Chain A
Amino acid sequence: MAKITRREFMKGMVAGSAAVAGTMAVPGVVRKAFTAKATLNIGLWNHWIPGAVDVHSAIINEWAAKNNVEAKIDLLGPQVRDIRTIASAEARAGTGHDIMALGPFDSWAFVKQCEPLNDVAEYLEKKYGKFDSLGTYLSYSEEDKAWYALPAPMGSHSYPMVSRMDYFNQYAGIDLPALFPADASKRDAKKVDGWTYDVFLEAAKKLHKAGYPFGNPISETSDGNDWLGPLLLSFGSQPMDREGNITIESDGTLAALEYLKELVQYMPEDIYGWDDASNNRWIISGKGSCIQNPPSAWSVAKKDQPQNAAQLWHHDTPKGPAGRFRGALFYNFIMWKWCKDKQAAKDLLMYLLEKDQQWKILAAGQGYDMPQLTPMYAHPVWQEQGPPPGTIYNYIIRGDEQLVVGGYPAHPIAGNSIYGKHILPVMVAKATTGEMTPKEAMKWCAQELEMIAE
């Protein structure tokens, strides 16, 4: 029973022939002949795009057939937080799937039960360059020098602005496709530099006056985390540093809260009760001029209200005093410690994250899924989707935005709680509804942060 170990195999691969590096098809082919049939239980997010899951499953099944593995796939959901519930159940029970796709921070709740995947991550980084910094933050433990998770494309998405070109043009005098053209080479960095939160506020004011306000949830939802977290960061507000010092009480936070206090005057009043889908409905119905969301809103609008969809343009977030940040909700793969055939699981993960497979998955996701390896940005899907043509071209980072998540740069174990308890959106809500002054809200937030520390 000579079994080629991963390390030996990879050595051969990395050092090796152009042929292997070029096709890189099947690490597992080698093990096929040697080992008995393995079973892998795989939990994937139940993608809302019809057919996306089928493509993903087909890739897995094809690999499984070739490698004498039986793959059982479960589709989990509906939302990221439900997957977390399931993972908690499995971690407690010490049984369940072998491989799971989890949402942001989730793996940090189960570090003790996750198998480090360093060899796979290192192999992929060597071949394709570094993972996106956010992906690394969410998947790599600096303390343990371990990759407890692998950044994955399916389900991963970010929160650009999704705006009505017609309303912005007519009422705010901003030509969005000109500012953020569907071609990175035509982008004028200087003009983009002028796209700041101040400019956006002016636009929001005018759009509100015209009867088509900007709308985004300030509520206990992941959408709330995913636009407010980055906004706070771009004003220099950080909840906690990596060492656990609470840093929320800062001028940056005050500035951000004051800014938001003004902005909410030009937003619908019910944003405090919006769920993850409310901003979608807002823009689909034609009532709103702008939201921050992945292309799911536009995609549904294409089907239900095509005349509104044809006016939507996805583009960069505004810049604040401390930089330009965009929220992202990244999925990653974990492998549970109890997995019986770890080698097979690693082979599969490596296979799934190779360019050929990612390519197919990204195409099937119709542009919704976001890769965490930069070479994948070259995929044509974001150019091809429409109407209007090129609307989601800028869904992929084309300029100076940095992808972040609400809770960054706290240690991810603390970040997990900040995100899960929606502390940042609640602080913003308290400050902007007048329930508290910005200072009080900041203090309240500091108390919440103390509570999660231990």
Chain B
Amino acid sequence: MSLTLAQQKKRKITYSYLALVPFLIFFLFPLYWMLITSFKTDNEISSLRGVPLIIQSMPTLAHYKFILKETRFLIWFKNSFMISAVVTVLTMVVSVLGAYAISRLRFFGSRYFGVGIFCTYLVPPALLFIPFYKVVGLLGLLNTKWCLLFLYPTLTVPFCTWILIGYFAAIPRALDEAAFVDGATYIQMLTKVFLPVAAPGLIAATLFAFTVSWAQFLYPLAYIYRDDEKVLTNGIYTTLIKGDVYFWGELMGGALLASIPVVILFAFLMDYYVAGLTRGSIK
């Protein structure tokens, strides 16, 4: 008995949705667990009675109130946003100029430069972490959020430059040669020809820089300890764990709140990101 094409297609979709379920459970369970923990009372969190997978007693907003009123959550939020935004801008300026020069303006060593940039991506943060003390001290930026402006680009710039090199290299030479003969300066060529064509790549790199900056944990933990200078990751971790006392409800709620902005950002820009990332890194 053969099915019509439409029926076949429908069955395929149904099966696909069914197969998707285990993945979604895997992906979403931690979020669900964090979410319900953040609404449980302390008494319920610490008890071992009943079904832990649901909220058994009255849900409480106490943890969120605590986060917003008793901690500097909003200040950390502002700091995270500001640092991530500035780092992103810096990264893009440095990467665009660098990638453009490497991919188009031939100069001594330009062929190996791309490889060199990529290799810096290999130096593990856990290694740089120790010598960075010296750099941060030298700059006089220990214990201020501004030191992150110098440290985060080491994580964002190599990859972004690399993506953009791929993008720029894919732009037909005829395009910029024409512009060149027309008397365009290099900057004009960059802004008028390269940037518009590479827009998806730019968006991808921007998003990458922003999320990487937003998620960083080790550097802020090591270099920033003044409450008003902290960012979300280290702020939540250092304030809601004290010695051997863990504020689970607040920790979970804070972690969720802190994740919302990047999730929203992705909800809107995901398509560009996907396109940019895949093209940029393959080519």
CB atoms of A77 and B142 under 8 A apart: no
CB atoms of B46 and A89 under 8 A apart: no
Binary B-proximity of A89-101 (CB < 8 A = 1, otherwise 0): 1111111100000
Surface stretch bound by B, among A41-49, A240-248, A319-327, A442-450: A41-49
CB atoms of B245 and A93 under 8 A apart: no
Any B CB within 8 A of the CB of A276: yes
Query: A296 with B238: in contact, given A43-B225, A93-B134 (CB under 8 Å)?
Result: no
Query: A47 with B242: in contact, given A74-B226, A92-B134 (CB under 8 Å)?
Result: yes
Chain A residues whose C-beta falls within 8 Å of the C-beta of B47 in the assembled complex: 285, 305
CB atoms of B137 and A78 under 8 A apart: no
Q: What is the distance, in angstroms, from B160's C-beta to the closest C-beta of chain A?
A: 27
**How far, in angstroms, from A437 to B212 measured CA to CA in the complex?**
46
Interface residues of B in 143-162 (CB under 8 A from A): 143
State the interface size on chain A (CB cutoff 8 A). Answer: 41
CB atoms of B133 and A82 under 8 A apart: no
Chain A residues whose C-beta falls within 8 Å of the C-beta of B241 in the assembled complex: 77-79
Chain A residues whose C-beta falls within 8 Å of the C-beta of B130 in the assembled complex: 92
CB atoms of A78 and B237 under 8 A apart: yes
**How far, in angstroms, from A189 to B143 measured CA to CA in the complex?**
52
Q: What is the distance, in angstroms, from A195's C-beta to the closest C-beta of chain B?
A: 25
CB < 8 Å neighbour of A94 from B137, B222, B240, B246: B137
Any B CB within 8 A of the CB of A286: yes
Any A CB within 8 A of the CB of B261: no
CB atoms of B43 and A304 under 8 A apart: yes
CB < 8 Å neighbour of A74 from B42, B136, B225: B225
Query: A89 with B142: in contact, given A74-B226, A75-B227 (CB under 8 Å)?
Result: yes
Interface residues of A in 39-77 (CB under 8 A from B): 43, 46-48, 72, 74-77
**How far, in angstroms, from A284 to B138 measured CA to CA in the complex?**
47
Nearest B residue (CB) for A83: B225
Any B CB within 8 A of the CB of A237: no
Any B CB within 8 A of the CB of A293: yes
**How far, in angstroms, from A277 to B246 measured CA to CA in the complex?**
7
Chain B residues whose C-beta falls within 8 Å of the C-beta of A79 in the assembled complex: 241, 243-244
**How far, in angstroms, from A305 to B134 measured CA to CA in the complex?**
47
Any A CB within 8 A of the CB of B196: no
Query: A287 with B48: in contact, given A43-B225, A88-B133 (CB under 8 Å)?
Result: yes
CB < 8 Å neighbour of A82 from B45, B48, B238, B244: B238
Binary B-proximity of A14-50 (CB < 8 A = 1, otherwise 0): 0000000000000000000000000000010011100
Interface residues of A in 364-386 (CB under 8 A from B): none
Nearest A residue (CB) for B143: A96
**How far, in angstroms, from A303 to B140 measured CA to CA in the complex?**
43
Chain A residues whose C-beta falls within 8 Å of the C-beta of B137 in the assembled complex: 90, 92-95
Binary A-proximity of B218-235 (CB < 8 A = 1, otherwise 0): 000111011100000000
Query: A305 with B46: in contact, given A92-B137, A94-B137 (CB under 8 Å)?
Result: yes
CB < 8 Å neighbour of B244 from A74, A94, A293: A293
CB atoms of B245 and A305 under 8 A apart: no
**How far, in angstroms, from A160 to B248 measured CA to CA in the complex?**
25
Any B CB within 8 A of the CB of A337: no
Q: What is the distance, in angstroms, from A318's C-beta to the closest C-beta of chain B?
A: 22
Binary A-proximity of B45-66 (CB < 8 A = 1, otherwise 0): 1111000000000000000000
CB atoms of B136 and A48 under 8 A apart: no
Interface residues of B in 199-224 (CB under 8 A from A): 221-223
Main secondary structure of the interface of B (DSSP, over half): helix
Chain B residues whose C-beta falls within 8 Å of the C-beta of A250 in the assembled complex: none
Chain B residues whose C-beta falls within 8 Å of the C-beta of A95 in the assembled complex: 137, 140, 142
**How far, in angstroms, from A82 to B220 measured CA to CA in the complex?**
12
CB atoms of B136 and A93 under 8 A apart: yes
Chain A residues whose C-beta falls within 8 Å of the C-beta of B134 in the assembled complex: 92-93
Any A CB within 8 A of the CB of B239: yes
Any B CB within 8 A of the CB of A265: no
CB atoms of A276 and B243 under 8 A apart: yes
CB atoms of A86 and B140 under 8 A apart: no
**How far, in angstroms, from A93 to B43 measured CA to CA in the complex?**
44
Chain B residues whose C-beta falls within 8 Å of the C-beta of A77 in the assembled complex: 238, 241-243
CB atoms of B244 and A280 under 8 A apart: yes
Chain A residues whose C-beta falls within 8 Å of the C-beta of B243 in the assembled complex: 47-48, 77-80, 155, 276, 296
Any B CB within 8 A of the CB of A436: no
Chain B residues whose C-beta falls within 8 Å of the C-beta of A89 in the assembled complex: 133, 136, 142, 222-223
CB atoms of B42 and A48 under 8 A apart: no
Chain A residues whose C-beta falls within 8 Å of the C-beta of B227 in the assembled complex: 74-75
Binary B-proximity of A202-231 (CB < 8 A = 1, otherwise 0): 000000000000000000000100000000
Interface residues of A in 243-290 (CB under 8 A from B): 276-277, 280-281, 284-287
**How far, in angstroms, from A223 to B244 measured CA to CA in the complex?**
9
**How far, in angstroms, from A46 to B237 measured CA to CA in the complex?**
12
Nearest A residue (CB) for B139: A93
CB atoms of A85 and B222 under 8 A apart: yes
Chain B residues whose C-beta falls within 8 Å of the C-beta of A297 in the assembled complex: 244
**How far, in angstroms, from A151 to B46 measured CA to CA in the complex?**
35
CB atoms of A305 and B43 under 8 A apart: yes
Interface centre among B43, B133, B138 (most CB of A within 10 A): B133
Interface centre among B133, B134, B226, B244 (most CB of A within 10 A): B244
Any B CB within 8 A of the CB of A174: no
Chain B residues whose C-beta falls within 8 Å of the C-beta of A47 in the assembled complex: 242-243
Q: What is the distance, in angstroms, from A92's C-beta to the closest C-beta of chain B?
A: 3
Chain B residues whose C-beta falls within 8 Å of the C-beta of A293 in the assembled complex: 244
Any B CB within 8 A of the CB of A13: no
CB atoms of A82 and B242 under 8 A apart: no
**A and B contact pairs by CB, cutoff 8 A, 8 listed:** A72-B226, A75-B227, A78-B238, A82-B221, A93-B142, A276-B243, A297-B244, A300-B46
Task: Give me the 9 closest cross-chain CB pairs, A-B, nearest first.
Answer: A93-B137, A48-B242, A92-B133, A78-B241, A276-B244, A304-B46, A48-B245, A277-B244, A304-B42
Q: Besides the contacts A48-B245, A79-B241, A276-B244, what 15 more A-B pairs have beta carbons closer than 8 Å?
A: A43-B225, A72-B226, A74-B143, A76-B225, A82-B221, A89-B136, A89-B222, A90-B142, A93-B133, A276-B243, A277-B244, A285-B46, A285-B48, A287-B48, A305-B47
